Amino acid sequence: MDRDWLKADRRSREFQNGVEELLMFAFENGCDENKISCPCLKCCHSKSWKARIVRDHLFQNGIDPTYKCWIWHVELDMGQSQAAGEVTGSSESVDQMPMREENVDGDDESMDSSDMFNHVQSEHEPLYPGCEGFTKMKALVKLYYLKAKYQLSDGGFSELLLLVASMLPEGNTFPSSFSEAKKSLCVLGMEYEKIHVCPNDCLLYRGEREEDEMRCRICQASRWKLNKKGEELEGVPAKVLWYFPLIPRLRNLFSSPKTTKDLTWYDTERLKDDKMRHPADSKTWKEVDAKWPDFSSDSRNLRLVVYL
């Protein structure tokens, strides 16, 4: 069976037909419609969802192009795991294949300032050849503003990006999914992490123990949102915490010469005459310098104060 669509653009009809082909194949081979192994790059077969959620994941996150033998969707009997490993180019048996979750949010490595500058410069190229009014970044920021303003879901935003990209002339560089859009925004220090929360604020579903739990082990409340009939909407969290990492934002402060000068002023230009003119003249600041000399020797060090 031809699987060339695995490498196709997610905006193309070829990819859409391929996704439907995969799901239909799973149904025909006895897979439960409510529990299908998700082959998207984020889940990577480590989780199972309803068919509609798997379909959304494939368009949002993409699919591993090497997954040409659909062993997780009953194309081969699991007893033939060794043969399956050979087909997929792996020396491991299916039972030994590690469940991994690849990061598609651009958070696997932090960019240094030169990488960030080059990336931002590329993002300011025309949206498509000959376009004068919009750059890729400008169009993306305006659309993302609408997503936030009208609380558009990630899946809905991906559909919108697919639609816009399909209407643009050939050669456009517009992202085709929410995941790709986040990569462009994250390099500016705008990345965030969404963490599922117990609706009664008992715990966060983020540790190895809690990640796969469906109910709060403290109050027994469902992790998922309930509809008007009181039924669980699997895959739709009841409550979400938006976590904005601090370190990338602090790092980006040094991407501008002006802010860098302001941040290092206390060490490079401050008048040091043993008078109390700045927090750096305080006893506490000097104690930190003495306790961590390597940290204090770099004028770019930052110190945060928490007011209780």
With b for 16 or more beta-carbon neighbours within 10 A and e for fewer, the 227-238 pattern comes to eeeeeeeebebb
Which pair of structure tokens corresponds to residue 218?
Answer: 């403290």
In a domain, 183, yes or no: yes
Handedness of CA 64, 65, 71, 75 (dihedral sign): positive
Is residue 19 included in any domain, yes or no? yes
State pLDDT tens for residues 145-191.
Answer: 888 888 888 888 888 888 888 888 877 778 877 777 777 766 666 66
> Does 255 map to a domain?
no
155 plus 236 within the same structural domain: no
Specify the 3-state DSSP secondary structure of 222: strand
Closest CA to 84 of 94, 74, 97: 94
Residue 257 resides in a domain: no
b vs e for 84-113, b when ≥16 Cβ sit within 10 Å of the residue's Cβ? bbeebeeeeebeebeeeeeebbbeeeebee
- Host domain of residue 92: 4-96
pLDDT in tens, 186-207: 666 666 788 999 999 999 998 7
Task: Tell me whether residue 254 is in a domain.
Answer: no
Assess whether 57 and 138 both reside in one domain.
no
Q: Does any domain span residue 161?
A: yes
Same-domain pairing of 177 and 200: no
- 8 Å CB contact between 159 and 178: no
45 and 125 housed in the same domain: no
**Is the same domain home to 9 and 85?**
yes
> What is the number of H-type helices and E-type strands within the chain?
11, 7
Dist CA 222 CA 231 (whole Å): 10
Residues 186 and 202 in one domain: no
| Final residue before a domain boundary, out of 69, 96, 123 | 96
Tell me which residue of 302, 194, 186, 181 sits closest to 248, measured CA to CA.
186
Domain-terminating residue out of 169, 190, 211: 190
Q: What is the domain count for the chain?
A: 4
Q: What is the pLDDT along the chain (308 residues), one digit of tens a residue?
A: 568 888 888 878 888 888 888 888 887 777 777 788 888 888 877 788 888 888 888 888 888 777 888 877 776 543 333 333 433 333 333 333 333 333 333 333 444 555 555 555 555 678 788 887 788 778 888 888 888 888 888 888 888 888 888 888 877 778 877 777 777 766 666 667 889 999 999 999 987 777 778 889 899 999 999 888 888 888 888 999 988 888 878 887 887 788 889 999 999 998 888 888 888 999 989 999 999 999 989 988 988 877 76
H or E element that contains 145 = helix 136-149
Q: Are 63 and 6 in contact (CB under 8 A)?
A: yes
Question: Do both 231 and 301 map to the same domain?
Answer: no
Residues 224 and 290 in one domain: no
For residue 215, is it within any domain? yes
Please check whether residues 162 and 197 belong to one and the same domain.
no
Question: Residue 243: how many CA atoms within 13 Å on its side-chain side?
Answer: 10
In a domain, 86, yes or no: yes
Query: Rounded distance, CA 263 to CA 163, Å?
Result: 43
Q: Are residues 34 and 90 in the same domain?
A: yes
H-helix or E-strand spanning residue 62: none
> Do residue 236 and residue 181 come from a single domain?
no
Asked if residues 181 and 144 have their Cβ atoms less than 8 Å apart, the reply is yes
* 283 and 222 both lie in a single domain: no
